[in-house]
Amino acid sequence: MSNKSKGFRSGFAAVIGRPNAGKSTLLNHLLGQKVLIMSDKPQTTRNKIQCILTEERGQIIFLDTPGIHKPKHKLGEYMVDAARNSLRDVDVLVYVVDASEKYGSGEEYIIHLIKEAGTPCILALNKIDLLSTEQLIALVEQYAGLADFRAVVPISARTGDNTDELLKVIFDHLEEGPLYYPEDEVTDQPERFIMAELIREKVLALTRDEVPHSIAVVVEEVQEKQTLVKVRALIIVERDSQKGIIIGGGGRLLKEIGRLAREDIEKFLGSKVFLELWVKVKKDWRNRQQSLRELGYDSRE
């Protein structure tokens, strides 16, 4: 493939929406592999992550953004700032809406931001597998009148239904351009970040509601041995009680988190992995600017 070939389109597309709209599920499907963590709990994505899709027809650099919500702590403020900042300096916005949820103030606020940004926007109505045809038609009509969307594309990120059409529409809104990243790259994030996110995903999946958003994961050490890769990671929580929940009786839950995370990390790295997990309490870290900076959450650029 040559980035100079006629008709090769490239550009940047920010994927925005409310928490739990299915943005990460959609991007993993489009990329054909798991790069972003997924959870049924809202506000899973915390950073602005670039995911790269390269095909014969072109290259799209997707910005997966945290769900836009009303923040309750400094980490939440960072997440919303990251999402809002992503509306700038991109070629197109892909606004993902959970079609099974009622329209409310959250969607109203995002539409306000879209109008304010003035960037061309494609509306992806997600989770259409949960709607009847009549409901979908009514929803398309409702949303089409709310903003000047370049296209309204009903999809199901879970089943992949109509996602090819969404991809075609995104490419149609990009101009001819260069190959920004090598063809084999799928993200701009370092391996340590992806490994930490895969561990955090398992904690989200296996712990109670009081734990998920109080955790952060840091990969402290990676050693490449002859037969395997040794990874040492730290799970950070805010309270002693949360530490107890994550470790579990006899350390069983932490072992299960480690087992599931190791399987995903092995797939990601393509090699055998020895994963060592520790849990540490860092009180009220989500509201401490220094802690946020140390953990990579700092919106000041």
Burial group, residue 286, by CB count within 10 angstroms (0-12, 13-18, 19+): buried
Model pLDDT for residues 169-180, shown as the tens digit of each residue: 999 999 999 999
Residue 249 resides in a domain: yes
**Residues 125, 31 share a domain:** yes
pLDDT at 41: 46
Residues forming a β-bridge with 49: 64
Q: How many CA atoms lie within 13 A of 99 on its CB side?
A: 28
**Residues 267, 118 share a domain:** no
Q: What is the pTM of this model?
A: 0.66
Residue 178 resides in a domain: no
Residue where one domain finishes, among candidates 117, 140, 172? 172
**Residues 61, 159 share a domain:** yes
User: Whose CA is closest to 127, among 199, 20, 216, 226?
Assistant: 20
Residue where one domain finishes, among candidates 118, 145, 172? 172
**Residues 157, 254 share a domain:** no
Number of structural domains in the chain: 2
Task: State the residue range of the domain holding 279.
Answer: 191-294
Residue 20 tokens read as 């739990």
pLDDT at 154: 96
Residue 160 resides in a domain: yes
**Residues 162, 61 share a domain:** yes
**Residues 281, 206 share a domain:** yes
**Residues 208, 123 share a domain:** no
Residue 235 resides in a domain: yes
Q: Look-up: residue for tokens 């490449």?
A: 224
User: Whose CA is closest to 68, among 38, 112, 2?
Assistant: 112
Residue 180 resides in a domain: no
pLDDT at 212: 55
Residue 285 tokens read as 């870290």
Model pLDDT for residues 116-135, shown as the tens digit of each residue: 888 999 999 999 999 999 99
CA–CA dist 162, 174 (Å, integer): 19
Residue where one domain finishes, among candidates 104, 137, 172? 172
pLDDT at 195: 87
**Residues 150, 82 share a domain:** yes
Residue 186 resides in a domain: no
CA–CA dist 49, 63 (Å, integer): 5
pLDDT at 24: 82
Residues forming a β-bridge with 58: 9, 55
**How far, CA to CA in Å, does 129 sit from each of 19, 34, 132, 160, 260?**
19, 22, 8, 10, 29
**Residues 76, 162 share a domain:** yes
**Residues 92, 25 share a domain:** yes
pLDDT at 293: 65
Q: Look-up: residue for tokens 């489009």?
A: 30
pLDDT in tens, the chain (301 residues): 444 567 899 999 999 888 788 888 898 888 886 665 554 444 444 445 678 899 999 999 998 776 554 555 455 555 556 666 667 778 999 999 999 998 888 898 889 888 988 899 999 999 999 999 999 999 999 999 899 999 999 999 999 999 999 999 999 999 999 999 888 888 777 788 888 888 988 888 888 665 656 788 888 898 988 889 999 999 988 888 889 989 999 999 999 999 999 998 998 888 899 999 999 988 877 666 666 666 565 544 4
**Residues 164, 22 share a domain:** yes
CATH number at residue 268: 3.30.300.20
Residue 80 resides in a domain: yes
**Residues 127, 209 share a domain:** no
pLDDT at 84: 65
Q: How many CA atoms lie within 13 A of 31 on its CB side?
A: 24
pLDDT at 163: 95
CA–CA dist 22, 156 (Å, integer): 9
Residue 61 resides in a domain: yes
User: Whose CA is closest to 269, among 33, 26, 31?
Assistant: 33
pLDDT at 291: 60
